[in-house]
Amino acid sequence: MEHLQIDELKLSGDCAALRQALEEAGYTEPRICARLGLRQLADYEMDAARRPALPPPDDAVDVLIRLFLAGDFVEAAALTTHLSHALTGVLQSLGLLKVNADGRFYGTVALYPAGGLLIASDRWSWPDGATFEAPPDTVYPALVRNTRLFLDLLPDGPCERLLDLGAGTGIAAFVAARNGARQAWASDVAARCTRFAEFNRRLNGLDNVTAITSDVYDGFNGETFDRIVAHAPYMPVLAAKWVFLSGGEDGEQITRRIVEGLPRRLERGGICCLLTMGTDRRDGQGHDVPFEARVRDWLGAAAGEFDVLFLVRRTVEPQQYALGAAPYEPRPRAEAHAWRDLFARLGVTTLAYGFLVIQRQAQADQPFTVRRTAAPELGRADWQWLLAWESAVAGGKATALILDSRLHASRRTVFEVTHRLTGEGWTPRAYQLRASHPFDVTCKAEPWAAQLIALCNGRSTGRQLYRVFRAQDWIPDSTSESEFASAVVPLVSGGFVEIEGLRPPRAAE
């Protein structure tokens, strides 16, 4: 079989009629998940060899699943029995449904609900089971888990002008346009992606989105944006094969171009969000340079105007990546050697996958660079809280917040004491704090920190606790209020102490 030619995806047909017909047929994420026994559609197994066989089609949803998710053939009798004549007609008129020589029907694309929208992308298998090779400019599906994660992490408030770079199907731009972006652009270097994005735009009836073919910012004539988002290619590759996958030999080629363009493209007060992977490195002098510090360098002379926040979801050691992402798919020996040589030449010590947030300050202030290990359930509200708190710290507002606000102890804090056996018995030697939410944080601590956290009951302000510490001689008499508050700042940043009015999400759980 052959791949869909992009001009076969009709842009002049009645997309509104298709949307209405699919809704009437019940082709929604809850119905599909109920039929397949899934918690969410992102859990759908795309590999036919690894998923259970589908039951015989019993209604329209079953037929549509077979055509546009499983990518199977559907017999003419089942099609005519369960799909309305109107739905069959509009699918054919838009180039989405064809019939082969023996009279069986098949979908030319994948078509599914995602993010509350209807999205079309390229298929990932042939209905006859033949060996499938995706084209270099294939339009990657939007129902996979990393796309769901990307959408769940993106800010969902209103904005004026949003740019989605490496847009693929365009789903991030569409979700933003539906949730309050006055105007959004879905941009991709592949013309195939642009055509699919334009089809999806029409399918969802979104008039405030523009699909455009552009190599990062090259297709824009000086336009600026108050929100830039990207789930662009970030995988290191020795030789480019698919546009959606190739981030260059270190995986950072496109991410770097996006960041380097922010001083010219991101408005003051704007924010850039990327789900990406970057490398921690060791420079020629033997100094460790984390990914977020290198991101700041990419901002050039304007770096002082930007805050950088990197939330790491997982890390991979260079040796592990060189040998292969999974033990059952080892790399050939020569390729593994090539990866080891490359990482050694670049000084790569770790590959870190996570969510990168870059905020352009509305007014010049003290910029900050922060890295955290994300808890598995991390959501947008969590990183937005951290960004707000670190902005308060950088802006000199943390002291007043701590002293004037009631303080709470995080219920997820663990205080560990390591003892050593001495002539006097077991003697405390080391103290450590751990928190699991909103970020996975472990740090050394002083004994007074445990006492302070125990007193943070939500009824006392920082100033009142300072007076308690002074009265009990737990701190030197020379310690000022501001010095006490400064010592509390890291406890708030680590998630051990919470400030009334600026508590992390789900803090009371």
Residues in the chain: 509
Q: How many CB atoms lie within 10 A of CB 64?
A: 26
**Mean pLDDT, contiguous 10-residue spans, the chain (509 residues):** 73 90 96 94 90 90 97 96 96 94 94 95 89 84 93 95 96 96 96 95 96 95 96 78 64 94 97 96 93 97 97 92 66 84 93 96 87 92 96 94 96 90 87 90 91 95 96 93 96 94 75
**If we measure between CA atoms, which residue out of 89, 120, 121 comes closest to residue 105?**
89
Residues in contact with 91: Cβ distance below 8 Å, sequence separation at least 6, in sequence order? 18, 97, 107
Q: Describe the crossing of helices 15-25 and 191-203 by its angle, rounded to 10 degrees.
A: 60
Q: How many CB atoms lie within 10 A of CB 397?
A: 12
Q: Give the C-alpha separation, 484 to 122, whole Å.
A: 58
Identify whether the C-beta of residue 259 lies closer than 8 Å to the C-beta of residue 340: no
Helix (H) or strand (E) holding 68: helix 60-68
**If we measure between CA atoms, which residue out of 105, 106, 137 comes closest to residue 121?**
137
Q: Give the C-alpha separation, 323 to 342, whole Å.
A: 13
Considering the entire predicted model, what is its pTM? 0.92
Residues in contact with 274: Cβ distance below 8 Å, sequence separation at least 6, in sequence order? 229, 230, 231, 232, 255, 258, 355, 356, 358
Maximum separation of any 2 CA atoms in the chain, in Å? 91
Q: Using DSSP bridges, classify how beta strands 117-121 and 110-114 pair: parallel, antiparallel or unpaired.
A: antiparallel
Amino acid residing at 153: L
Q: Give the C-alpha separation, 32 to 28, whole Å.
A: 6
DSSP assignment string, 426-438: EEEEEEEEEE-SS
Look at the block and give the residue holding tokens 């069959």: 88
**If we measure between CA atoms, which residue out of 335, 316, 304, 242 comes closest to residue 278?**
316
Identify whether the C-beta of residue 469 lies closer than 8 Å to the C-beta of residue 460: no
3-class SS at 208? coil
- pLDDT of 269: 95
Take residue 358 and report the two structure tokens written for it.
């870059």
Q: Give the C-alpha separation, 116 to 114, whole Å.
A: 5
Q: Give the C-alpha separation, 339 to 345, whole Å.
A: 10
Class of domain 401-499 as given by CATH: alpha beta
Extended beta strands in 64-218, E state: 97-99, 105-107, 110-114, 117-121, 159-165, 181-188, 209-213
Look at the block and give the residue holding tokens 């455009």: 212
- pLDDT of 327: 46
Domain ranges of the chain: 6-112, 401-499
Look at the block and give the residue holding tokens 């002291």: 399
